[in-house]
Structure 1
């Protein structure tokens, strides 16, 4: 089988990021686009989304679509390189973050991310929000950068989600110890300003917890 060394390079890169590799990363590693096509034909790789491939084992990962789309935000840098500055790496947010934290029951047909700059891509399943996040607003879930539960609640409020649904997200997060009232209050104050305390009281009332 031709391209043994290149296949090894592709496997090495993929092994370090959940069994996934982008076309740009593969080319950087010395593999040609033709070789990638042959690896797909032979079953060594599976195309997950445009420009992102998975090994057969990785294709069974429940988060493979999320991981692939996250990698597609920056096709050249590896996951390890991007996570060195996770606040600017493309942080999973809003309904996607709630799903990652397993809180609430929001529909997450989009993969939502927060970026510090304008998103120039055109992928149908990515919904990008522009904002600057602080280190205390980002955590890592299953190896991916995700807004904290408190910041997730605040973002959902700003994005106009039904308050009862957001209250459920908050209640689940509080129950699981992912955040506390003070953290949620600070997150709401940060994005809403003076309206923060009033919204927190509304969410607590909607969740049946009172003020």
Structure 2
């Protein structure tokens, strides 16, 4: 396979097969195409192949792509990278989703800076499920529920669920264990807030365990676009 349309078809088929193995319909599992460092022509190619959800890690790069692709009005842009407070306005003004919120300060700024003419900004709270010092994310259930209550009360935002990036070197059994921990947190949150519907977890190397544990959205980059170029400086 050497083109984006073929790789997308293969990714969708793999998701469908994994859903069948897990005994669930493929419908609830969405595919987020991680397009960081990829040119707009690649995104257009994915769009032509039916892809609509795209994830960006770098603020300036993502905003430039959104502006360049503004003619594609049904694209859904997700910000999935670390977000500094001095970059929140750009994200609030351009993206539909932010998957990497783990601090009330960031959520407040996003709410304050979301234009009133735009729909509420969809938020996922990031969980540091593998307790890695190098990664951002909420540390435990107590911290999660406290943050969720604060975020849920903010105007111009809609709390939609959780996101996690587990440690990359886990064996299959540990992958399932950490994803099942995420699923338990997701169910707990869903019991408190009726609008909760998104559990974003699973990439190429751990997608099987993620779907088995109840992921509703997987994030694939290289599997769709091929090897990445050097990351943009943001």
TM category (shorter chain) comes to: under 0.3
- Greater Rg over alpha carbons, structure: 1
Question: With CA pairs under 8 Å and 6+ residues apart, which has the higher RCO, 1 or 2?
Answer: 2
Higher helix proportion (structure 1 or 2): 1
